[in-house]
Structure 1
């Protein structure tokens, strides 16, 4: 082991994700990144998990990394767990959604706390400064983020615009606490979000904000793949193997939000109208839960018969990175959840953005500005209106036939991979972060 690796081995970091695959996935990829750099990592995951997919994901992670100390406990036991860690912790990294309950604990233990922000740097700029706007945000036509850009009302998360909304109150409470952390980690990279990252780190957005470390994209890991060869060769990968390069549209709107069945069926009509082969992951239930109804019941028997002639429809959790990396996939109809955006960037897949909730319009703006995706702004938020199949089919056709998008997507892929290579911007940021932890470790 080199002297640098020996030094890194003295760094002990605890990671504490919130529940849900959208939070768990980036935390486990961060854990793998740190252990690859010879840090000691403890993963504290809440019990019970909210879905079978999450439980299986954790089990595969623990099997792949037996050297990790994995603890599944409730929040009430957190103080004793952190205080008794051996060797003592150098730092504690928690989900931004947990900062309020965790901060008093880390302050009492004098334990350096870092935040993993699981969305874009653009969304971080809004989150960190939103307390300035909350009192009057429901009456504003736009929000001006110093040094970043103007965010139109139509892109502001809808729950922020509702008077006395619980979500708005949480942001009002959590946002101002970010300066109390020692640093903020984001799954992004300079070539993708240079402007917001520079503005955040220069103090233009919030003067007291700690350093923001862009350390992405988090690379998909081997442990995320199916447990055995038989599963890996089953549909949808087996079906994709039989398709022509770049011919398939992948359609998925993430694990947290189900769509109304009328809209689901219009998507089916749109896929048929486009004429392209497709792999469609249908979700009918909300917040990470497994689907209960047969996919034919959700879509309708007659439409399902038509769909089978040109594509594959599933309603179970899939390894999205496996799908996006497949040579037959030529486009991605996505809600623009940040994990999905970064996976598409890593694999160089063009995006047709269809934001549904929360931060997703801000993320779609990142994709659109970078030029590797398109976005129909008139489609609105989830439930605002029903987008008809003809519009959906036309948009898919535009994405799949646009050579400029393909070239831009390939360029984004190249810059994403350069960022995490030796000497790349994100790798430098990781080493700087570990260096900070070493200093904190030495000062204890």
Structure 2
């Protein structure tokens, strides 16, 4: 008598609607598709459309016929662009997302979309996880995994927010004593100053709102999760991961760097892995040709991610500092809407033209670039970055040291780790003047390069080992796959 074929797991992904959150979750979704899982990826309509525009969808669907892309209506507050926002605007986005997320997921599960019920839901940390947990209970207690898109150090500090408030460390009023050490959080393996705390700590009202959201929606929901999936690797953050493991009542799956894990599967696969290009706008691939003409290790790559707004003075100070360093540079500056309020009557277009005129002899400015390919290019010698976690992981794997100019959320913690803990770059936090930019570029590219690259070589090697067969991230992904399969009802 023939045995019935084993059932295939069906995993629903539920990311927070921001580029830096969607990208790593999508990479994991691809990896689970590679393991022959059914995958449903649920995005807001805006981000869903951007994904469809950025990729060869027919080729992707041919490779992964069981990968389903679905969307739900955006409910962004009037006048708030989720890709250009203030700290308060981010809180508004959190609350509006919470309002839209739960009914969207409920509707998906009710419709069933021709598939078996979800084996589990993988939901972004806090807001999305809270919504997923509420819906999961309504549909028979579907297991929910929380996905943490920030580093483990930020996660550990996040658990200490209430303690920081009780001891008067936050909110940071008046930006006084910003270099004062924070003694309320132990086990980080480095000294932390007030200026290294989350960007939300700098705003009184916002800080209280974020803590309320984190407490009411995040912590209570995450504590009920089946496990936490983390885009990091064990050796990078071992002491903090150990603390989290003893603190949290469930499994932690450290499976980063996710883009490298996916690349390894691509190499092993006899069929090409048609990965979707998770990006917010069209990439300028001509920059690769420009890099081909530059000497090895000579170029400083500059990109502040998809959210940072720059004023005229900030653009010109950074630009002049780059020029004064006499190093060729490739700078990503998003189109007009991303440029912030100006101190004079200059339009964003005029400012970009002014910058291009300044730099045309030495640099190249593009609206968006294929960052992983750029960082892997032999011409790149350094990265001036906003210190988003995806950028940090990509830079580590590509063996490119960093100058960090963080502005919000976990970026401030990441930059401290880069400079103080891992010693693979410099922290330019709260500074934006041409002399500092010039000095740090020259330190990174020449004066202090040997010392930094010694640390970078070690960490890059650990990252490479983690995603190889038998490495910690590789094994943790296999453990996650096995655990999800075990959730299928018998």
Give TM-score, length-normalised by structure 2.
0.78
Verify the 8 A CA contact 1:257 1:286 in the aligned structure 2: no
1:438 aligns with 2:485: yes
- Residue in 2 that maps onto 1:69: 68
- Residue in 1 that maps onto 2:123: 94
**Which range is displaced more, 238-247 or 367-376?**
367-376
Q: Deviations over 1:219-239 (max 9, x none)?
A: 266635599xxx989421111
- Residue in 1 that maps onto 2:445: 400
Cα distance between partner residues in 2 of 1:233 and 1:45: 25
- Residue in 2 that maps onto 1:169: 212
Equivalent of 2:23 in 13, 22, 25: 25
Cα distance between partner residues in 1 of 2:284 and 2:305: 23
Verify the 8 A CA contact 1:137 1:161 in the aligned structure 2: no
- Residue in 1 that maps onto 2:424: 372
- Residue in 1 that maps onto 2:251: 211
- 1:94 deviates by 0.8
- 1:213 deviates by 1.2
Q: Deviations over 1:244-297 (max 9, x none)?
A: 1111100001001111110111111011011111101124767799xxx99762
Verify the 8 A CA contact 1:255 1:286 in the aligned structure 2: no
1:122 aligns with 2:153: yes
**What SS does the corresponding residue of 1:358 show, helix, strand or coil?**
coil
**What SS does the corresponding residue of 1:22 show, helix, strand or coil?**
helix
**What SS does the corresponding residue of 2:381 show, helix, strand or coil?**
strand
- Residue in 1 that maps onto 2:193: 152
- 1:341 deviates by 0.4
Give TM-score, length-normalised by structure 1.
0.85
Verify the 8 A CA contact 1:349 1:410 in the aligned structure 2: no
Cα distance between partner residues in 1 of 2:439 and 2:53: 38
Equivalent of 2:460 in 405, 413, 416: 413
- Residue in 2 that maps onto 1:56: 53
Cα distance between partner residues in 1 of 2:278 and 2:487: 38
**What SS does the corresponding residue of 2:146 show, helix, strand or coil?**
strand
Cα gap change, 1:139 to 1:164, in 2 (>3 Å): closer
**Which range is displaced more, 142-151 or 116-125?**
142-151
Q: What number of residue pairs does the alignment pair up?
A: 418
- Residue in 2 that maps onto 1:183: 227
Verify the 8 A CA contact 1:131 1:175 in the aligned structure 2: no
Q: Deviations over 1:81-129 (max 9, x none)?
A: 2353622322100111412322211122211011111110111112234
Cα distance between partner residues in 2 of 1:317 and 1:247: 20
Please report the RMSD computed on the Cα atoms of aligned residues, expressed in angstroms: 3.0
Verify the 8 A CA contact 2:384 2:403 in the aligned structure 1: yes
**What SS does the corresponding residue of 1:69 show, helix, strand or coil?**
strand
Cα distance between partner residues in 2 of 1:288 and 1:179: 39
Cα distance between partner residues in 2 of 1:350 and 1:169: 36
Verify the 8 A CA contact 1:128 1:175 in the aligned structure 2: no
Cα distance between partner residues in 2 of 1:132 and 1:261: 38
The within-5 A match list for 1:22-421 is 22-49=20-47, 54-57=51-54, 60=57, 65-74=64-73, 75=101, 76-83=103-110, 84=112, 86-96=115-125, 97-109=127-139, 110-135=141-166, 136-138=168-170, 142=182, 144-148=184-188, 151-165=192-206, 166-177=209-220, 178-203=222-247, 208-219=248-259, 223-224=275-276, 234-283=285-334, 297-301=350-354, 303-314=355-366, 316-368=367-419, 369-376=421-428, 379-380=429-430, 387-401=432-446, 402-421=449-468
**What SS does the corresponding residue of 2:106 show, helix, strand or coil?**
helix
Q: Deviations over 1:417-439 (max 9, x none)?
A: 21111110011111222222222
